Structures are given as C-alpha cells and as structure tokens.
Structure 1
Amino acid sequence: MRKIRVGLIGFGISGQVFHAPVMRSVAELELVCVTARKADQQLLLKERYPHTKIALSADEIFADETIDLVVIATSNEMHYPFAKRALETGKHVVVEKPFTNSVEQADELIALAKEKKLILAPYHNLRFNSDYRTVEKIIQSGRLGRIVNLESRFDRFRNYLRPNAWREENLAGSGIFYDLGPHLIDQTLQLFGKPNAIFADLAVQRDHAKTIDNFDCILYYDNLRVSLKGSMLAKEPTPRYRIFGINGNFVKYGIDPQEALLREGKFPDEDPNWGKEDPSLYGKLNIMEEGKDIEEIIPSEIGSYPDFYQNVADTILGKADLIASAEQARDVIKIIELSYKSQLERRVIPVESQLIAY
C-alpha cells in the first residue's frame, strides 16, 4: 500500500495533541516531517516519532516534492498564507480551525484548490466527538418531536491572561469566538442547514483582556432558535447541550474524552476503548411518549478523531468524498463575520444567500 506522506507545520499544542497522534492511527498516512524550532518540541518529536524528520521552517516542507499532504497547525494568521503556499506547490492540505480569518481568504483558497485539483479540508474534528454524535442521533430519532430550541455551550475557566499567548492579543482571528465558535457554528450548520438571520453579543469581560472572551449568538430559523455560547469565566460546569422539542428535552453535560486523553500523551490506536464516554456523563432524555412521561439515560455514541483523517486519506485516494469540506468551513467564517457585524451594529443580521454550501 502506498503511503500518503504528510508534513505537519506547527508542533505546539495543536500539532502535538490533535494532529500527530491522531494521524498515527490511519494506516494510509505516514508523518515524515514536522516543523519544530524549540528544543522541547524537538525532544518530544524524537521521543514519540523517532522516524520523523525535524524541519526548522515551513519552507522545508513546501520544497519537499515527496510530501503529498500538508497539515497546518499554526497560529490563525498563518493558516491562509501557509495553505496557499502548500496548494501552489501541489500538495493536499488540512487546515486547523478557524479555516481562515476571512471569507475573502477562504474563497481564494477554495478556487486555488479546485484549479490544482487538490484536497483542501478544514479540521472540524468536533463533528467526531461522542457528545455531538449523540445529539445528532437523538435529533434524527425524532423522539423529541419538532425541535424548537437548541442551546450549545463551550466554556472554560481562566480568569487571568496567559502570558505571551497570541490568542490573548487583539489580533485578527484571536479570542474565544474564533477559537471555539467555529466548532459550535459548524455543528449547527450540519444539524439544521442555513439560518435566516443571526444576532451576536461579543464581549471582553476579564480584567485587562484585549480580545473577545465571551460570546452569545442566536441563529434564527423558521421555527427554531439556536443559542451558541462560550465563556472564559465558567467555573461551574454548564450543560454542553440542551435541546427543547415539542415532546420534551435532552440535556447533556460533560465533553468527549478524546482531548483529555491526547493531552495525557495517549495514542488512539493503543486504546480499544478510545472515544467511549464515562457513563456518568451520559445525557438524559425527558419526554412525553405515547401519553407517558419517560426519563431515559442515553448512552453516548463513540467519538473518533481518527475518522476525520481516515476520510481525508480515503478522499485523496479517490475512495470517498470529504466529510468536512472547505466550502462548509468558508460558511462558518461567514457566520463569524456576520456575528461581528451584528455586534458592531447591535441588530439582527439577515444571512440570506451569503452561504454557499447550504
């Protein structure tokens, strides 16, 4: 079997946690080169991936004609220029979220990938979370009846500013909305398609903070409201999802276990129980069904980040279509741009025909 040779640009938290160990689980992928300028990154690479070459710059990966796929796991402002360079040198590309910092950049990359007949995929890995897969299954089952409200939160607690962190600076693509918002928006578009309009309240709440650290967005559909929220000051756990239907509710606390395991240095291909949630985190369905009140604990679906990279490999080999497409990621960025417009003008903004994948 011919291996797809992969170059990874960026070996910070994103590269170390969400990409390199996940790719290792896909037989068709071979991680051959990783950029690592810091000594601790180089030591970790030698320890965990001893056969992988260390590059001191992205230029070494772009110049390597044997590399088929480039994965970009850098700070947000480098997603667009590095993706463009990779495509121009004839390589398929995976880009960490947010896909780009603007719709204009996204449109340019999509056109270039089509021109070059190359795969361009956003790393919307939270579609492969156990919690989201469970929500998707519950909605599709129809047991809640017509959905009237969905609340989705992605919270953290850090009441101080992290020193020397680019996400804490007032830069394009920084802040919690560009960091966590793309996941929630992407999931909403997958579940319900294009909204009619959006209203957003984006705030800076922590002392001395320079960029958005709290967001509250409402996406309006014909007979449905979706509320997306995130905060850096949520110390008490909040429900990850709350779904309100004509027949009742579904409430889910806790998050998929994969990130925590990856941060511990675990590999998906070494754990037969990978992606299984602890039963204490299972969601609760509370509905009226056939005239009876029913409360039911719903076992969570199994999460699997390797499924993302397996799909990318299969698409490059001509055996599948991308599950997460660049066009879909572009529409996520459009919703973010409309949210900032809503914040600036303090009004509900029509979405109209501004999305292209839905």
Structure 2
Amino acid sequence: MASKTWNVGVVGYGFSAKTFHLPFIHEIPQMKTYAIVQRTPKEDDDAEKDIPGVKSFRTTEEMVKDPAVDVVVITTAPDSHYALVKLALENGKHVICEKPFTPTSQEADDLVKLAEKQKKLLAIYQNRRWDADFVTLSKLVKNGSLGRVVEFESHFDRHRPQEPAADVSKWKNKVIPGGGAIYDLGTHLLDQAVHLMGKPDRITGFVGSQREVNTTGFEDSFTVLLHYKNGLMVTAKAGVVSPEEEQLRFWVRGEKGSYKKFHLDVQEDQLKSGMKPADNGYGREPSDRYGSLTTIKNGQPVKEVYPTVEPPTYTEYYRKFARALAGEGDVPASGAEARDVIRLIELAQESSHLGKTLQV
C-alpha cells in the first residue's frame, strides 16, 4: 500500500516561507505544496507563477475550508500566530507554526490544549536544533567528552549599532507582541539549551537595548542566565554592539573538556544565496570554521580542532514531521516545548524589570 501524500497549505509568501519552509517541504516525498495564502501577489512575486499547480488563496479563512488541505504552515508575524493556529486547528488541520510560537505562554497553552482536543499535530519551527554546530555540541555533551558540564554559553551577537531603517514589511524591528530580540533570537538559544540540558531551576534576565539611538524602544539585546540545581549555569545572549572579526557562538565547559565555536551555522546564508537543500555542500561547514575541543591529557589542557559534523540539515525537521503524520514518532518540536520556552522569556522579562532572580 502506497504511503499517503499530505497536502500542505502555507500561510504567507515572504522570506520565511520561501527560505525556510518551501525548499524543505519540496524535499519530502510524502508532502506536497498544495496551497499558498498570499494576500497581494505582484507581477514579480506571485506564488501561482512560481510554483506550478499550486492553489492560491487571499485569506487563511478560505484556505482552511478546503478539505484537501491536511497541514497548515504559518509563516506570518508572531502577533498573528495565535489566531491563525486556532483557526487551522478548529478546521481540523495539522499545524506547523513559525517561532516565536505566541507572545504569551497562556496563549501557547490554550493552543496546545486545543490541538489535543482536536487530535491534531502541533509543531513549532525550531529549525536550529539541526544547526551543524549544535548537532556537534550535542554529540560531545551526550558522549561524555566534556564530562559534567558546568558552563554553557550560547551567543548570537552581531555588530549593528545603528538603529535600523523603518520597514513596514518587516516585523523583526518593530515593537509588537512577541517582538524584540529575546523572542526572535532568544527562542532559538533557549530552545537549544533546554532541549539539550533540560529545564532550569531559576532564571535571571537582562533585557533591553544596546543602541545609543533607539527611537522606538525596541529591545535589541538580552542576556539570560539559567541556573540549575546541579550547578550548571547556562548563558544565552544576543547583542548588537559586538565589533569582533569572529563572533563567539558556543563556549561549553565541563570537568573533562571544553568546546569553543565561532561563527553561525552556514545553512541560512546558503539558503539566502539561492542554494537548495539537495545541492552538494549544503549544510557542510568549511574546515576553517571548525570549533576547538580542549581536553585534559597527562594533567595538562590540550587543544585540537574538532570537525563540525555533517548535519541532517533543516530537512530533518520536515522529515520528522512527515513520520509523525504517519504515526511513526513525535513531532520535531512540540507546542508544549515551545510554550515552556515562551514562559522562560516571560520570566526573563520579569526578572529584568524587577532586577532579581526568579524561580522557574
């Protein structure tokens, strides 16, 4: 008996859909790009012209009424996620939602419960679980190469001290519910940390702006400390004032070893340049960007280059989701996991406002 092909409807036809979703849906034989919601097609930006045979809708309300749609992928701004996920679930669709999931953990919890009631899958697009550097670090932590980990630093720093120009089409620099650096970049860093190291016991947050000129009040930077009962300290941070030739990505220290890594994963830049997931070299990091592993030998620290693994790439997210649709495993990143990350963000903001460490 042939396996079922699942029809996917994508809400939004902007950067997120074109870069992070459609190329990977195309790689999965069990999934078909069936429909796109594009409110205002243009002569040089029209989903119907770009994707042969796709159905084009102007509203999500129209698309979810189509009984042929099995899965809805939501790629719009975070302040629209709650209403759109709710609409899709209520109309009997499985859902993949871009991160950040929702502006509040209460909204996230409501949607998790609705998905359970509707008996539908709800997954959040935490694609950076399949960054090559994070896959490499996870291997070192799990195989015991670092021993008992006591410090876990995760950075997403850039040098962009000038206030960005206003762009009505981009939510990432606007003051909106679910906006700011901690929702945009923090969801990735905190998800990775909790996915690998578990939930913390306490949290300390510093959330604000490093830019001297900030006319909107946009929170462009954050530092979040996660405190664990076993003595582990996780530092997750993103800043916009960091004049470095090489930006630190990870520095993780344990009793047996230390792993230090510079540079971001290559997949996003490759996708922006037009590279496809099936292209030779996609996801593979050049050797001059490998991290270093320092271990204790004969009582002395010895540093060596540690090759970045060849990752399963972001394709693995959709591969796992297809298996979950077939009843062969869990979704790649659940709504419940994303809800817990949103709760950590809320606590980090509260901690920053109060100036004290909070219990999780």
Q: Is the 8 A contact 1:36 1:42 kept in 2?
A: no
Q: Does the aligned pair in 2 maintain the 1:121–1:325 contact within 8 Å?
A: yes
Once structures 1 and 2 are overlaid, which stretch shifts more, 330-339 or 312-321?
312-321
SS in 1 for 2:219: coil
Q: Which residue of 200, 205, 208 corresponds with 2:210?
A: 205
Per the TM alignment, residue 148 of structure 1 is displaced from its structure 2 partner at its CA by 1.1
Map 1:37-52 → 2, pairs under 5 A: 37-40=39-42, 43=45, 45-46=47-48, 48-52=50-54
- Distance in 2, matches of 1:48 and 1:260, equals 22
Stretches of structure 2 lacking an aligned partner (at least 5 in a row): none
Q: Which of 125, 132, 146 in structure 2 is aligned with 1:144?
A: 146
Answer yes or no: is 1:182 the counterpart of 2:200: no
**1:10 deviation in Å?**
1.2
Which of 226, 233, 237 is matched with 1:225 structurally? 233
* Superposed CA RMSD: 1.6
- Please report how far the alpha carbon of residue 40 of structure 1 lies from its aligned counterpart in structure 2 after TM superposition: 4.4
CA–CA distance in 1 between the matches of 2:51 and 2:58? 16
Normalized per residue, the structure richer in helix is 1
SS of corresponding position for 1:265: coil
SS of equivalent residue, structure 1 residue 285: strand
1:162/1:312 CA distance change after superposition, 3 Å: farther
In 2: Cα distance, 1:83 partner to 1:7 partner? 13
Q: Measure the CA separation in 2 of the matches of 1:130 and 1:350.
A: 32
Is residue 206–residue 222 contact of structure 2 (8 Å, CA) maintained in 1? yes
User: After the TM superposition, which residues 102-251 of structure 1 pair with which residues of structure 2 at under 5 Å, given as runs?
Assistant: 102-158=104-160, 159-163=162-166, 164=168, 165-206=170-211, 207=213, 208-222=215-229, 223-236=231-244, 237-251=246-260
Between 1:173-182 and 1:286-295, the stretch displaced more is 286-295
The total of aligned residue pairs comes to 350
Equivalents in 1 of 2:310, 2:64: separation in Å?
36
State the one-letter code of the partner of 2:331: L
Q: Distance in 2 between matches of 1:39 and 1:321?
A: 36
Q: What letter is aligned with 1:232?
A: V
> What's the CA shift for 1:335?
0.2
TM superposition shift of 1:247: 2.8
Residue 280 of structure 1, CA deviation: 1.0
- The alignment-based identity, stated in percent, is 34
Partner of 2:28: 26
Q: Distance in 1 between matches of 2:44 and 2:85?
A: 23
CA offsets, 1:88-144, max 9 Å, x none? 000000010011111111111111111111000010100011011011011122222
CA shift, 1:194, in A, is 1.3
Q: Structure 1 residues 238, 101: closer, same or farther in 2, change over 3 A?
A: same
With the length of structure 2 as denominator, give the TM-score of the two structures. Answer: 0.93
* Residue among 59, 63, 68 paired with 1:57: 59
User: CA distance change for structure 1 residues 314 and 32 in 2, over 3 Å: closer, same or farther?
Assistant: same
